[in-house]
Amino acid sequence: MDAADLPRRYRNFIRFHTHVTYPDESERRQQINTAEVIRRLDAIGMQHIPIPTIWDGVHLVDDGRLAGSLEIERRIGLTYRMRMGRIKRFLDDIFHWSQRDTAIYHALASALREIEFDQLEGRTDIDRAIANVALISTVKQALAIGLASDVIAAQVNWALGEVGGLTADEIELLECLPDEDSLQSTDQLDLERMALDRGISQIQLVENLETRDKIASLLSDCFGGVRRETEHKEIHPLSVRRLDIASRMLSEPGLEALVRIARIANEYVGFQPRFEKKMLPAADGDQTRMRMMQSFDELSRMVPAAWALKVASPKYFRYRVATKSFMVREKIKKSDKKQLFYAMLDRSKSMQQGERIYKLIAILMNRLRAVLRREAILGFSFFDSVVHEQVLVDEVSQARQAMQNLHSSFFLGDDTDINLAIREGITRIEAVVADTQAERPELIIVTDGDHGINVKPEELNGIILHAFIVEEVNDDLIQLAKATGGVALQQL
């Protein structure tokens, strides 16, 4: 937003004065180092935020209260009258010039009262203050371009509600996700389908998107208007990174579907990684543990205290040996095997419709999180009438790269052959298990196809199948997944 496009009083409203918070009520807020907040703001590209807005952000930490109407009017009047001469002050008593900006400050206080700042938790008060500063700056600029305070509060609260519960690994993957125009061409946006997903009419959705986009651009401006990677992510508080995702979510409707489906997948216990840290007996192990003896062949590994008991009480010693109730030492080593997930992803042209791409990415992202936590290996391939090249993800950097590489060109394939995808998935899983340290394989199918399935449960050879049918129904595939003990969801 160009400041030259705004009337002078709105430019001053954005840049100067702080009339809406009580600054000196909390000892904890007084202890926050404002200079440190400013330094951190500079480090993440928010050098342009004016000092009064920073003060407001600091004051609202830890249950900070907003000033009431009378207090706002008193402080506005005092600020302007301090700049007036005696004659102007006399005339101001008649014409009330000093109160000319009262309405917009009342609107600011009204919007801030409705915004749920507590949804953006931070590790420290400084992190929370920085997030508050970004929100207050966004609200100020949104009011200056003519948006109503209740609309601003509603949209910002919606965004905070969507990103407030995002974990660090989810944010890391969403930061790697390409922009909407790289994933889906605008002529493929199905507003009617998107409206049905949200339970509102198409006209309401379009109006909502326009308002959301305005607020998103203002929120993005708080971060210098540019999303960029940095090697020093510790200077970016998690609360601020959530706000950066919130700005994208407001401007890119598909991200809402992505987060919604990812949360649905998280709720299914049967779809959680079954990661176990195993310590296996090994003659060349580098660690030792104690356990109860299991056979008489292990007498030589009993602890020295057991042999002392033989001298003190031979009868009791023989009883303990007969009942195998002595502890023995055992060499062990840690098992490095991880669980294997393999995803077959539908890339047919129909996946371009509505938000289907984002729903597919949601399932992929859910499994990539297991790689980020070093709990699993993920392989995936796109398929249509044939199965395409395999991607194997075992490292954190590979998980990020997998998200960055996604592009709309992946979703321009032919008709869907789900039976081929399942059988080829089984073959590729067996090859990966043979070549890598992986175990307990599970196969994931994400498709919008409704074709009949002729694959039998016994063909999977004990592999669990999870089926996610996007915006369509496929009862055959659902029944197959349930027969293997997997998660089966349709009409996502």
Looking at the structure, do residues 52 and 140 belong to the same domain, yes or no?
Answer: yes
Residue where one domain finishes, among candidates 211, 241, 264: 264
Please indicate, yes or no, if residue 156 is contained in any of the structural domains: no
> Which is it for the CA torsion 27, 29, 30, 33, positive or negative?
positive
- Residues 469 and 376 both lie in one domain: yes
Q: Say if 114 falls within a structural domain.
A: yes
Closest CA to 287 of 337, 329, 328, 333: 333
In a shared domain, residues 34 and 120: yes
Are both 29 and 125 inside the same structural domain? yes
Q: Are residues 128 and 78 in the same domain?
A: yes
For the chain, give the number of residues. Answer: 492
Sheet holding 279-281, edge to edge: 279-281, 327-334, 287-292
Which phi and psi (to 5°) does residue 328 adopt? -125, 155
Q: Is residue 310 part of a domain?
A: yes
Residue 157 lies in a domain: no
- What are 338's strand-pairing partners? 438
Decide if 160 is inside a domain.
no
Q: What separation in angstroms does the CA of 52 have from each of 15, 42, 124, 189, 404?
A: 8, 15, 21, 41, 38
Helix (H, G, I), strand (E, B) or coil at 258: helix
- Look at residues 213, 146, 150 and name the one whose alpha carbon lies nearest to residue 6: 146
Cα→Cα distances 97→7, 15, 73, 172, Å: 17, 20, 12, 50
| Residue at which a domain ends, from 334, 357, 379 | 334
| pLDDT of amino acid 293 | 84
Question: What's the pLDDT at 325?
Answer: 84
Q: Among 353, 354, 352, 420, which Cα is nearest to 388's?
A: 420
Question: What is the amino acid identity at position 34?
Answer: T
Between the alpha carbon of residue 124 and those of residues 140, 170, 243, the distances in Å are: 25, 21, 16
Q: What integer pLDDT is reported at residue 443 of this predicted model?
A: 92
Three-state SS for 188? helix
pLDDT at 234: 45
Instruction: Classify 390 as helix, strand or coil.
Output: strand
DSSP per position, 281-317: E-TT-SEEEEEE--SGGGGGGB-HHHHHHHHH-HHHH
Instruction: Going from the first residue of the chain to its last (492 residues), give the mean pLDDT of each consecutive group of 10, the final group possibly shorter.
Output: 59 74 64 80 81 83 79 79 80 78 86 87 83 89 88 89 86 86 70 69 72 86 61 66 88 83 82 67 72 82 81 85 84 72 88 83 88 85 88 86 82 82 90 79 88 87 89 90 89 84
> According to the model, what pLDDT value does residue 372 have?
85
State the total domains in the chain. 4
> Among 241, 264, 287, where does a domain finish?
264
Strand order in 338-346's β-sheet?
A: 387-393, 376-383, 338-346, 438-447, 464-469, 488-489
Residue 141: predicted pLDDT: 87
Domain shared by 349 and 449, yes or no: yes
Question: Contact, 231 vs 171, CB < 8 A?
Answer: no
Are both 260 and 211 inside the same structural domain?
Answer: yes
Statement to judge: residues 183 and 69 lie in one domain:
no
Domain limits for position 396: 270-275+337-489
pTM: 0.78
Q: Are residues 283 and 386 in the same domain?
A: no
Whether residue 395 lies inside any domain: the answer is yes
How far, rounded to the nearest angstrom, does the alpha carbon of residue 110 sit from its chain's CA centroid? 29
Torsion angles phi and psi, residue 383, rounded to 5: -145, 155
Is residue 155 in some structural domain? no
* 256 in any annotated domain: yes
Is residue 271 within 8 A of residue 466, CB to CB? The reply is yes
For residues 451 and 376, state if they share a domain.
Answer: yes
Same domain assignment for residues 110 and 226: no
208 plus 309 within the same structural domain? no
Q: What is the pLDDT of residue 445?
A: 92
